[in-house]
Amino acid sequence: MTNFNIIPDRRKIFNINKWTWFPKDVLPMWVADMDFPAPKPILDSLDKLLKHGVLGYELPGKVLHETVAQRMDDLYNWKVSSESVIVIPGVVSGLNIAASLFCTDKKGVAVQTPVYNEFHEVKNNNRVPQVDIPLRKKIKGNIISYEIDWILFEKQIKKTKVFLLCNPHNPLGINFSRRELIRMAEICIKHKVIIVSDEIHSELLLDKNKFTPMAKLSKEIEKNTITLIAPSKTFNVPGLFCAFAIIPNKELRDKFQKEVQRLRLHVSSAGLHAAQAAFSGKCDSWLWELNRYLTANRDFLVNYVSKNMPNVKTTIPDATYLGWLDFTETGIENPFEFFKDNAKVALSDGKIFGKGGEGHLRINFGTSRAILKEGLDKMSKAMKNS
Ligand SMILES: Cc1ncc(COP(=O)(O)O)c(C=O)c1O
């Protein structure tokens, strides 16, 4: 059993990280990495690499491609060939490569706001237009959820070439249903829009939820989809930068592969070794325990907000370790600055996620229960004292 209540001190690490970005007296609950050590099989594989001592060039071998393809089969019964798998340094690189290859200066990317800030950078990085498709907020008591406005979805998708789907969704924690995915895909196919499905959070499932990759839904959808996955969020190894694009459509894949080669987007040997251990199945019992712990943290967060934070609304995320708090009815004008200054807690400012993010904060609950409680206690005290 892993004890997720114990977390190492990251303030001792000399480079900048989640714990050293803000001044020492500020509790960090922002960037999306967790405070837990990676599972032992990953650490053992890195240990082995270091003990060998030679850290020369390494390229991903056949075994790693096969391991990724096998994982898709094991998890979802999604059969992909190992040739469909392209190794890339990060999912964000994958989003940008796809936009650079398939967008034009008239037709760019579509995003469902509020959404992960890097989605908003794709338009700037590639000088292409961005079309927003805001998700529609629903309020029930102090619980908020979001749904797709289908008329708007089709109206906006038509104007683009690439749909950047975030599923599960950061920061809203939505695990889109098969029905929703099929409907989104059908509209994209109708308007010849390529789907780039960022599924980086797909294994961080709360409440034993099940995930369906977009591309698994039909052969036609698979042909129109670039799937981006990584072990980085799930096994907390984002600093090793290793991700995968799964592209069964050969025409799309060849273009993507060429661009990866042109830019020399190599992954470090440490990233390759960690990914092999992560996706081999050896870390699955750790992951099961992690998801149980995260589910309890999510419940703790939702209950805490309901009981102790008047007028604050919250999502109940299906997946991820990210909560989404709505302060629009609290009278707090700039929640990010308010809590940083008055509670000494740094969350992610909702504004960075685009339309619909103002007045909201994203909270990272991928930490020990004690740290989560400490952060929430500080926030609730600051609200009482204001
Ligand atoms: C939805 C989503 N995609 C991508 C990333 C980052 O991916 P990478 O570090 O592999 O570029 C994150 C990190 O928070 C994320 O939440």
**C-alpha 220 to ligand 1 mean position (Å):** 26
Say if 263 falls within a structural domain: yes
Residues 94 and 189 both lie in one domain:
yes
Task: Please name every residue paired with 147 in a beta bridge, in sequence order, or none if there are none.
Answer: 136
Say if 122 falls within a structural domain: yes
* Domain CATH number, residue 154: 3.40.640.10
Boundary-marking domain end, from 279, 305, 340 = 279
* Domain CATH number, residue 346: 3.90.1150.10
Has residue 142 got a pLDDT over 90? Answer: yes
Residues 58 and 123 both lie in one domain:
yes
Residues 171 and 221 both lie in one domain:
yes
How confident is the model at residue 14, as a pLDDT? 84
Residues 216 and 309 both lie in one domain:
no
Has residue 381 got a pLDDT over 90? Answer: yes
Has residue 13 got a pLDDT over 90? Answer: no
* Cβ atoms of residues 116 and 353 within 8 Å: yes
Say if 4 falls within a structural domain: no
Distances (CA, A) of 166 to 92, 171, 206, 224, 330: 11, 9, 17, 16, 29
Residues 53 and 94 both lie in one domain:
yes
Say if 2 falls within a structural domain: no
Boundary-marking domain end, from 252, 279, 306 = 279
Say if 327 falls within a structural domain: yes
Has residue 45 got a pLDDT over 90? Answer: yes
Q: What number of other Cβ atoms are within 10 A of residue 307's Cβ?
A: 10
Q: If you ran DSSP here, which 8-state letter would residue 38 be given?
A: P
Residues 253 and 135 both lie in one domain:
yes
Residues 196 and 305 both lie in one domain:
no
Per cent of the chain over pLDDT 90 is 98
**C-alpha 208 to ligand 1 mean position (Å):** 22
Boundary-marking domain end, from 279, 303, 319 = 279
**C-alpha 141 to ligand 1 mean position (Å):** 31
Q: What is the mean pLDDT of residues 216-240?
A: 98
Q: Whose CA is nearest to atom 14 of ligand 1?
A: 32
Task: Quote the tokens at residue 93.
Answer: 């690189």
Task: Quote the tokens at residue 32.
Answer: 């999306």
**Residue 32 Cα: closest atom of ligand 1:** 14
Domain count for the chain: 2
From 34, 118, 165, the mutation candidate for ligand 1 (largest count of ligand atoms within 8 A of CB) is 118
* Cβ atoms of residues 276 and 87 within 8 Å: no
Q: By C-alpha distance, which of 194, 197, 170 is closest to 181?
A: 197
Unique residue bearing structure tokens 């927003």:
132
Query: Nearest 5°: phi and psi at 326?
Result: -110, 115
* Cβ(116) – ligand 1 distance below 6 Å: yes
How confident is the model at residue 196, as a pLDDT? 99
What is the Cα–Cα distance from 148 to 179, expressed in whole angstroms? 12
Residues 232 and 303 both lie in one domain:
no
Say if 345 falls within a structural domain: yes
Each residue of 258-291: pLDDT tens digit?
A: 999 999 999 999 999 999 999 999 999 999 999 9
Domain range for 22: 10-38+284-385
Q: What is the mean pLDDT of residues 14-36?
A: 96
* Cβ(226) – ligand 1 distance below 6 Å: no
Q: Whose CA is nearest to atom 10 of ligand 1?
A: 90
Query: Nearest 5°: phi and psi at 244?
Result: -140, 140
What is the Cα–Cα distance from 200 to 203, expressed in whole angstroms? 8
Q: What is the mean pLDDT of residues 223-243?
A: 98
Residues 153 and 296 both lie in one domain:
no
Residues 297 and 261 both lie in one domain:
no
How confident is the model at residue 228, as a pLDDT? 99
Give the torsion through C-alpha atoms of 322, 324, 330, 331, to 10 deg. Answer: 100
Compute CA 242 distance to the chain's CA centroid, rounded to the nearest angstrom.
14
Each residue of 311-336: pLDDT tens digit?
A: 999 999 999 999 999 999 999 999 99
Q: If you ran DSSP here, which 8-state letter would residue 171 be given?
A: T
Each residue of 236-264: pLDDT tens digit?
A: 999 999 999 999 999 999 999 999 999 99
Say if 167 falls within a structural domain: yes
What is the Cα–Cα distance from 41 to 278, expressed in whole angstroms? 8
Unique residue bearing structure tokens 């999510």:
298
How confident is the model at residue 12, as a pLDDT? 87
Q: Across the chain, what does the average pLDDT equal?
A: 98
* Cβ(92) – ligand 1 distance below 6 Å: yes
Residues 109 and 57 both lie in one domain:
yes
Say if 182 falls within a structural domain: yes
Distances (CA, A) of 191 to 156, 162, 268, 327, 346: 11, 10, 38, 37, 41
Work out the pLDDT band at 354, boundaries 50, 70, 90: very high
From 111, 116, 119, the mutation candidate for ligand 1 (largest count of ligand atoms within 8 A of CB) is 116
* Cβ(198) – ligand 1 distance below 6 Å: yes
Residues 172 and 305 both lie in one domain:
no
